[in-house]
Structure 1
Amino acid sequence: MNVKISVIVTAHDKRKEYLPFALQSLQYQTFKDFELIVVKNFQEYDDLIEKLGGKSIVTKSEKLGGKIVEGIRIAEGDIICLLEDDDLFEPNKIEFVYNIFSRNNISIFHNEMKFIDEKGNRLHENEKKRDKIVRKLITDREISYNYLFYNFIDKIKISFNLSSMAFKKNPILKYLHYLPNLNNGLDTLIFFMLAYNNNIYISSEKLTFYRVHSKNYSKILKEGKTDEKYVSESYLTYLVMKELGRENPFFKILSLDAFLYLRILDPNFSTNYLDIIKSVLELLYHDPRGSLRFYTFLRNTLSLSPKIAINKIAKLVLRKYL
């Protein structure tokens, strides 16, 4: 099956210095027949984009979700490859994606990644940690949604990466209205939107360079530097998960987990103890192993950052039922 690929690069003014490196990684692709769309909220680098034969879309949206939606709406390809401005592709990335979608009836593909720092140096320790986590999840073959759900339900806390995803355009169209105002959790949202009742391919090939730097949300979270903006953006993602959870069991579990996570980030998020207890018990019912990991995270949070710890009643409930 012949497929046409559109690569959508999302770029943000607060880290625009990385964009030329992302574009350079596209310039050196072994597979050249792809559409390039760059969606950014600043004016620079149009000459470089034009040199690569790409389309430059300057948007007013500062949200990652808004940029993704704008790119998808004008994309002409059957397959969408996402690339964030601070990440890079291996030279064979697009060729690999082309071959996978040509040979398999899948809706979404996810590859593994290499970690680099702000200067592009490899972070091997980060990779070792991730390799240990994802080892049992990777199949390197086409799998069904049901297979993923029943065999890997306890692995859903794995972090996905937008720059490691490629997916069919048509299935995502019905979900686009959920995305424009979102900035957090889009990798997980998009993956499970498209995994539901479809076939998936999760590859061990490290085809993406994921850059770790001071402006990464993941790095900010690891250092415990959350703020009101992050909490409010996470709340919007939680509302979308809750809505999708009415039909998609993955999002049922994710929304429960997100509810408790928000309660940790912001003690004022919910003061209704019954809602907290209900969410804990529902999470235990749907995903006991995942809840065990959540409890471990909670226990560590209590010992390291008491200010953001969940209230004692939820902690007692977790202890009682685990």
Structure 2
Amino acid sequence: MEKSNNYISVIITAYNRRQYVLDALKSSTEQSLSRQLYEIIIVKNFKDTNIDAFAEEHNVINVYSENKTLSGKIIEAMGIARGNILCFLDDDDMFYREKLEYVFKKFNENKNLCYLHNNFTAIDRDGKPLAYYNRNPDFNMSSISIRRETINGDAFGKVSKSIDTLIYLYAKESGMELELDSRELTYYRVTDQSVTHSFTDFNSFMEFSYNSLNIILNSYIQMLPLFHSRETRGIIKHKISFTRIRLNIFGGNVARLKDYLVLLYTPALESRSYEIKVAIASLFMRKYSAGKLYKNEKMKQEVK
């Protein structure tokens, strides 16, 4: 393969969870791309005999960190990373074998490309394919590859959650090219400990949705001062308003008339028709909509 300056740093992050870390590490070491063209860095808050031995054996940079936030762990990894292309991998996800070779080729072919988002295959705790899907361009860290210089490290650490959205917004504001690729190159695991939960009952779904939406809302508010372009700020304002509207369904009662108007005149990453349906539901059919959303999530998380 042609040599390039596009050296890749794979950044794996883990906090407390260790069940699938070896699977994540193995998927990153068993790539079709030569190891001369990429490095692997894992940042975690625990020591584990098997994981640490595997990391040492396979030349993985193993960093112990007490940092509780994803952004903080990524900043630590960036402090030692040699790559100008960053690929992220959550501790419970996996790469397809050809993932890094594909990323390397894409960035090598287009010098103005700063952000590549690949599609994913959702799997359950046992690795069985699920019907779950999400085609938003800012969803799933393990699907994101980005040029390192696009990220503002100082501001990056000010945001605690929704880091996949934050990275996407940095790419949008850079003025460089973004590519949303339909090719599935990542396994995205859905469990009761992942960002996308598997739910045991309706009450746990309601509680999780309410709590997680509040955290997400605060993260979007933290992002707003970090960006300056009209389009990027418009996306954040849209997300703030839409999150408030979604919270109404789960008993938040925080959305105002302005939030409903914002949906109509700011840029959207979600389907506009979907957002309108959610807005109507938050106004007139909260209890019914919450039940329907719960059923939809359960269906998405059924084995194909």
Q: How many residues were matched structurally?
A: 274
Cα distance change on mapping 1:110 and 1:103 into 2, 3 Å:
same
Name the TM-score, length of structure 2 as normaliser.
0.79
CA displacement at 1:162 relative to structure 2 = 0.8
User: Does 2:217 align with 1:235?
Assistant: yes
Which residue of 2 is the match for residue 184 of structure 1? 161
Normalising by the residue count of structure 1, what TM-score does the alignment of the two structures yield?
0.75
The equivalences for 1:1-322 within 5 A come to 1-13=4-16, 15-31=17-33, 32-33=35-36, 34-44=38-48, 45-105=51-111, 106-123=113-130, 125-126=131-132, 130=134, 134=135, 160-172=139-151, 174=152, 176-180=153-157, 182-196=159-173, 197-219=175-197, 223-226=205-208, 230-244=212-226, 246-262=228-244, 264-265=246-247, 270=254, 276-287=256-267, 292-300=273-281, 303=285, 305=287
Structure having the higher helix fraction is 1
Alignment CA distance shift 1:158-1:206 (3 Å) = same
- Are the aligned partners of 2:84 and 2:148 in contact in 1 as well (CA < 8 Å)? yes
1:5·1:77 contact (CA, 8 Å) conserved in 2?
Answer: yes
SS for the counterpart of 2:233 is helix
- Report the secondary structure of 1:62's partner residue: coil
Q: Distance in 1 between matches of 2:217 and 2:6?
A: 37
- 1:115-159: per-residue Cα shift (whole Å, max 9, x none)? 111011122x33xx55xxx5xxxxxxxxxxxxxxxxxxxxxx555
SS in 2 for 1:70: helix
Residues 109, 17 of structure 1: alpha-carbon distance in 2 compared, 3 angstrom cutoff: same
Shift of 1:71: 1.1
CA contact 1:161–1:187 (8 Å) conserved in 2: yes
Give the RMSD, CA atoms, in angstroms.
2.9
Report which stretch shifted further, 291-300 or 41-50.
291-300
Gaps of 5+ in 1: 135-156, 309-322
CA separation of 1:299 and 1:111: change in aligned 2, threshold 3 A: same
Superimposed CA distance per residue, residues 249-269 of structure 1 (whole angstroms, 9 cap, x where no aligned partner): 133233233234135427667
Do the aligned residues in 2 keep the contact of 1:9 with 1:85 (CA within 8 Å)? yes
Q: Is the 8 A contact 2:221 2:240 kept in 1?
A: no
Opposite residue 47 of structure 2, the aligned amino acid is Q
Partner secondary structure for residue 108 of structure 1: strand
Unaligned 5+ segments in structure 2 are 291-304
Letter of the aligned partner of 1:47 in structure 2?
Answer: A
> Secondary structure of the equivalent of 1:30?
coil
Q: What amino acid sits opposite 2:42 in the alignment?
A: V
* 2:285 counterpart SS class: helix
Task: Classify 1:307/1:193 alpha carbon distance in 2 versus 1 (closer, same or farther; 3 Å).
Answer: same
> Quick one: distance in 1 between partners of 2:31 and 2:216?
35
